[in-house]
Structure formats: C-alpha cells, structure tokens
Chains A and B, each alone.
Chain A
Amino acid sequence: MATTATTGLPEHHVAHHFDSAQQEFDSNKMGMWLFLASEIMMFGALFVGALIFHTLHPAAFNEGSQHLDWRMGTINTFFLLTSGLTMGLAVIAAQSGRQGAVRLNLVLSILFASGFLVVKFIEYKLKIHHGTLPGRLWHGEGFHDPYVHVFYGLYFVMTGLHGLHVLIGMGLMTWCLIFRASSVQFNRKYFTPVELVALYWALVDLIWVFLFPLLYLIG
C-alpha cells in the first residue's frame, strides 16, 4: 500500500486499514494523547484524595511528610527529569535520522529511570524497617498523630502506582531499543514509536513533578 518515495527515504509499511502514513501517524498520536488523558484522570483522583486528607488530618500529613527524606526525593527528581531530557533528545535524533543517537539516548533514559527505581527501592526498604507502612501493616513508633498511617497509605499507593508506570516506561524504551531501533530506520517521516514512548514518559515525569512536592515538601 505504501506509496513510492519521492523523497528517497525508505517507506514505512502502512497498516492495511489506513490510507496514508500521515493518517496512521495522526491516529497513533491521538490515541496516545487520549490514553494519557485517562491516566491523568486516574492519578487526578488520587491527588484529590490526598488533598482531602491534607484537609482532614493536617497534623498527620505534616508528621508523615517530615519522615520522608527530601534529599532522596530530590535525587529522584533529578533522575527523572534528566531521563525526560534524553527521551526528548531521542525523538529529535529519530526525526533527523541519526540512528546511533536514538539508541544512545534510549539507553541513557533507561539508566536514569533505573536510578530512580533504585532510590525508590532504598526508600521503601527504610519505610519497612521503620514500620511506617499503610493501615493494618503499620508498626511505626514514636509518632504523635494517630492517622500518620493514612499518609503512608497514600504515599505507598501513589508512589507505587507511579513506580509501576516507571517500570512500564522502561519496558517500552527497551522494546523501542531492541525491536524498533535495530530493525527500522527512523527518519523525519517515520519516528512514531520513539515519539509515543516519549509522550508516555513525559506524563510519568509530570506526575512525579506533582508527587514530589505534595508528599515530600508541603507537609
């Protein structure tokens, strides 16, 4: 179905039900945007929940927040934002057909994302050690407010769900690296997979940008 290239660029094979590569690209991109919109609604509910608890039990929120290590949060913010930058660079590289740079930037993004997860893992381990776990699992000592466990309930749900998204994002980047970047020549007419993964990753970044102050700094 692919039309002959007038640009000398290798043609990407368009799926049978699309009329043109442009239509395919537009559809894929819009699909990803809508998916992200649904993700925002999902996380949005959690943020609303967190704000309501901030109002209901401000002291508990405060106390819980003070037991989070803002330095680790900051390191993680750095990791995620940098990986966001390298993902953006991967898109630019794909658009200009620099295959090596695409691969390099994907690898860097995966590395920074792993850094984030390592720090998160250390944080979780410390929480388990101190017993600051949600609800029924709570056995933290030396806390004043009886509802600090609710804060940790929120903390684990929100960062856990976000961490899951980081993991999925890393999976997508790896897929992009192994199954796409090796077999497909990206060029200014075809860079859809990198673009979509980057869009998804931007949302993962964005959610963290709100999570970090909410949990670590506001208190």
Chain B
Amino acid sequence: MIAHVTNNINYLKAKRGFMSWLVTVDHKRIGVMYLASILCFFILGGSFAFMFRLELWSPLKEFLTPDQYNQFFTLHGVIMVFLVVVPGIPAALGNFIVPLQLGAKDLAFPKLNLTSLYLYWLGAIIALYSLVAGHADQGWTMYAPYSLSRNPAVLWMMIAAFFLGFSSILTGLNFLVTIHNMRAPGMTFFRMPLFLWSMYATAIMQIFATPVLAITLVLLLLENFFGIGIFDPALGGDPILMQHFFWFYSHPAVYIIVVPGFGITSELITAFSKKDIFGYNFVAYSSVAIAIIGFVVWGHHMFVAGQSELADFLFSFLTFFTAIPSAIKVFNWTATLYKGSIELKTPMLYALQFLFNFTIGGLTGIILSILSVDIHLHDTYFVVSHFHYVAMGSTMIAFIGGIHYWWPKMTGKMYNEFWGRAAAILVFVGFNVTFFVQLVMGSQGSPRRYYHYMNEFQIYHQISTIGVIILATGLFMALFNLLASLKFGATAPKNPWGARTLEWEEADSPPVLYNFTKTPVVTHGPYAFDTEKA
C-alpha cells in the first residue's frame, strides 16, 4: 500500500491540499505545524509581556488596571511555559530533525505523533478559551488555595495544561523509542549528534515527570468540584503537598525547557567552528546527568514555604550538583571554539548569545540555590530574571538559532544573512537590557508580580521596558526575514553549512517523503570535520 508512493519528490509537494496536512503522519509536516503553532503562541505570550512591561513604565496606572495586570502576567506565564518553551524545541525542531539525524524514515509511532499534535491543539484551544471564560489570576504555578476558587478560567486553564502534558509525554515516549530502535546502520549511540542526546535526556524527563503534573491537575480539579480535601487546608488538606507535586514536575520541566537548547547549541557551535566537539562523551552524558539530578532538587522552590529545615538544607545541597554538568557543557563548547574556523553566520550568533546568557542564567541559579541568599531573593525580580535568562535567553535563543540553522532544510530556501544577523544582534541587546537590570533591582529587594512599586525602582523598570522594545523589534525582524525567504529566498543547497550530520549530508533540502532515497549507512561521527569527506 503506502510503499507504492513515490519517494523522490520533497515532502512539501508529495501530497497537496489542506487536508493532506491535517491527516499527515509525516514527522516533518507535523514538525512544521508544531513550529507554526508554537511561534503564534510565542507572539501571543510575548504580547502580554510587552503590554505589562509598558504598564510598569511608572508605578502608577498607565493603561492596565491591577486586575488586568494580574491576568496578563498569568497568561504570559501559562502560554509561554505550557504552549511555547516546554513543547518548543522537541515538538517543532525535534520532530523534524530526530528521524533525519538518525537516518530513519519516521518516528517509531507516526500516528501517536499526530495524536500528540492534536492534543497540543486541544490544550491550546482550551487555554485560549480560558482567556475569555473569566479572569485567571492565580499565576502559572496554580498554588492552592489560589487555584481552589472554582473560578472557571482557572479550571479551564488546568484542563488545558493536562492535555498539553499528555501531548508532551507522548512526544517524549516517541523520541525515546525511536532513538533506541530506529538508528540507521552504523549509527551507534556514540555517533549520534548531540542534539539527539539532548532529546533523549529530555524525553526521560517528559515521561517520568509530566505524569505527576497530570495527577496534580486532576486532584486540583477534583478539589475544586468536590472538595476532596487533599490540598485544601480548610478541609484538612495539605497545600504544601500540592507545591511538592507541582515542583516535582516543574523543576524537571525547567530542564525539559533548557536541555534541548544544549543540543542545538552543540550542533551550531561545531557546524560553525568546523571542529569536532571537545569532549563528546562528557557533553552527551552531562545531558543525561542533568535529567537525573533534576529529579531530586525540586524543594529549592519551597525554601520559604514551610518545608523542614533539613529538607531545605538537603535540597540546597543537591541543587549545587546541577552546576557540574552545566559547567561541563559551557567549558566544552568554549573549548570547541578554541582554534576553530569560526563563521559568524546567523545561527552562530544565536549560539554565542546562548553561551553568554546561559552562563548568567546558570550562575544566578547557583546564587539562588544557596539557602541563606535565597531567603532574601525569593520572589524578587532576581528570580524572574534568572528564569528568563534560562527560558528566554537560553532556550528561546537556541530555538531561534536552530530555526535559522534548519530553515534551509525545512523550507528549501535561504534567508537573507544580513537581516538575520542584524536581528540576532538586536535580540541580544534587547534581551540583556531587559533582564540584566532586573537582576539589579531584584537584589535590592524589588518583589515580583506587583502592580505598584516604590519610586526608587522606576529607573530600572524603565530601562527594562526600553529593552523589551528593542527585543521585540529584533524578534519581528527575524520573523519577517524568515517569512520573506519563502517568497524571495534563494534555493537552498543540500548542505549550505558544510555540516557532517545525516540531515545535511544525506537528505535533500527539503527532504523527500521518506527522508532518504536509500537508507544511509553511517561511517563517521557527527562532527568529523578533520577527516576527509567520505
């Protein structure tokens, strides 16, 4: 049956019509649909942030009421976390790239893959509905008892997160099985591109952490409807237990967010330094190490939540260990750059930004994991900034870099390099102007999530707001540059970057329906730049 479909036209043209996209099981098309959806939500979530940042220009009212302000930061958080950064890289780029880098025809479970896309859309629609169902102002963390108000907007938001979690589990499961069973001949585990190792580590966390979020959401919903008394203190429940469950997922979720960014950075730095990665095994294992350590540090979110001192101490101590694999990566990437023939193409500019931002994001994380310091910095802008250095400054930057890197493969078009670089520089400046001052004002005690603030913090807020305007300009420039290439871009060659992984060496741009006209046989490592081309 399917075997008779011709396998020599590219996947975009293999079948035609709107329906052919909606019922496709091709991982590449699913990846493209994810990418488009995620970018739309990135713009939506970003708009909320843009608006409340403008509101914070002065401590008084600009154009949002305090209520609207609370809703806007809630919506920004929920959309960015559950619809953008958590699914982000794996669902969009991972879906497209994983089978190509493995030399496989598709993921192990193509129909399940489509199911996970539909679950994502279902979750997204419900999340959008919750915007109009009422006023969700509980913050993205959904702590009890804020989330036990039987507020329909909050309830719909939790239902949305439940479906999105399911989608995430299915994606992880699919990747893990695919990486184990679908590698091309000669593709040993240690010949895999590091992006695949990062997808592997991410998948472990998606499969083992997300179910705990799912059951927490179910319990919260039941608590709202029937008052089962598990989280509600008024009924004898334990709200701290809810926080434990929540962070048992949401700390690994931070690594679900950032580890894929590590993978992309490894690809970009090697491809644009024309050098083998320094210490492949260390970089590969450190992804898995982060995934494992990530499961035992969740309590660092609860230092002031009434956890025992012993637990505080242990969680603080364990959190220090996350610095080791992170530092290994940063050192190895830097060592890879050393004496490389570096080309400052657009994706590389994002990779270098990642290095810079992630170093700040990581080091501020260490500061926050110190018990005595965290007591003071807890719930200040310092935390907001730390988190954004990781989620936006690292993950989204790597994501955008990855989009630029694989754009020619996905679309068959080259974008304009000048505008690409200009946008990358604006994004770098805008991001750092926005968030660096937040570290400063946070360290001076400015609390997060407040509508009003003390006059002495106004200058920081204003700098931050100016930064956001620069950042938004850069992001839209990048977006328009990419979109313009679809119409005006030159046709992309098979391997414009001279990279050595399978998706570039063996697959066309864009790839054919089943990825390769014949199954590739792997004879060298992913970054074998020093050896002669086989």
Interface string of B282-299 (1 = CB under 8 A from A): 000000000000000000
Kindly list chain A residues whose C-beta atoms are within 8 Å of the C-beta of B514: 16-17
Contacting pair B215 A17 (CB below 8 A): no
A27 touching B2 in the complex, CB below 8 Å, given contacts A38-B210, A147-B236, A153-B230: no
Interface string of B350-390 (1 = CB under 8 A from A): 00000000000000000000000000000000000000000
B107 to chain A, nearest CB (A): 8
Kindly list chain B residues whose C-beta atoms are within 8 Å of the C-beta of A157: 218-219, 222, 228, 230
Contacting pair B211 A41 (CB below 8 A): yes
Contacting pair A136 B104 (CB below 8 A): no
For the side of the interface on A, what is the size category?
35 or more
Contacting pair A27 B177 (CB below 8 A): yes
CA distance A18 to B105 in the complex (A): 8
At the interface, yes or no: A9 with Cβ under 8 Å from chain B?
A: no
List 5 additional A-B contacts (Cβ < 8 Å) besides A19-B519, A31-B112, A135-B229: A27-B108, A27-B180, A45-B216, A45-B245, A135-B228
**Interface of A: prevailing SS:** helix
At the interface, yes or no: A171 with Cβ under 8 Å from chain B?
A: no
Kindly list chain A residues whose C-beta atoms are within 8 Å of the C-beta of B108: 17, 27, 31
Contacting pair A153 B229 (CB below 8 A): yes
Kindly list chain A residues whose C-beta atoms are within 8 Å of the C-beta of B182: 17-18, 23, 27
Contacting pair B3 A16 (CB below 8 A): yes
**Neighbour of B3 across the interface among A1, A39, A42, CB < 8 A:** A1
A134 touching B236 in the complex, CB below 8 Å, given contacts A45-B245, A157-B219, A157-B222: no
CA distance A52 to B219 in the complex (A): 15
Interface string of A18-34 (1 = CB under 8 A from B): 11000100110011001
Contacting pair B241 A52 (CB below 8 A): yes
Closest chain A residue to B206 by CB distance? A38
At the interface, yes or no: A149 with Cβ under 8 Å from chain B?
A: yes
B103 to chain A, nearest CB (A): 11
**Neighbour of B227 across the interface among A23, A26, A136, A146, CB < 8 A:** A136
- A residues with a Cβ closer than 8 A to B are 1, 16-19, 23, 26-27, 30-31, 34-35, 37-39, 41-46, 49, 52-53, 56-57, 60, 133-137, 146-147, 149-150, 153-154, 156-157, 161
> B507-521: which residues lie under 8 A (CB-CB) from chain A?
514, 519
Kindly list chain A residues whose C-beta atoms are within 8 Å of the C-beta of B226: 133-137, 153
Closest chain B residue to A136 by CB distance? B227
Give the size of the chain B interface in residues (CB under 8 angstroms): 47
At the interface, yes or no: B302 with Cβ under 8 Å from chain A?
A: no
6 contacts between A and B (CB under 8 A): A45-B216, A45-B248, A135-B235, A150-B230, A150-B236, A157-B228
B36 to chain A, nearest CB (A): 24
Closest chain A residue to B166 by CB distance? A38
Specify which of B108, B109, B232 lies most central, judged by the most chain A CB atoms within 10 Å of its CB.
B108
At the interface, yes or no: B176 with Cβ under 8 Å from chain A?
A: yes
Contacting pair B214 A42 (CB below 8 A): yes
Contacting pair B215 A45 (CB below 8 A): yes
CA distance A150 to B104 in the complex (A): 51
Kindly list chain B residues whose C-beta atoms are within 8 Å of the C-beta of A43: 215
Closest chain A residue to B231 by CB distance? A49
Contacting pair A149 B181 (CB below 8 A): no
At the interface, yes or no: B503 with Cβ under 8 Å from chain A?
A: no
Kindly list chain A residues whose C-beta atoms are within 8 Å of the C-beta of B216: 45
CA distance A33 to B228 in the complex (A): 31
At the interface, yes or no: B238 with Cβ under 8 Å from chain A?
A: yes
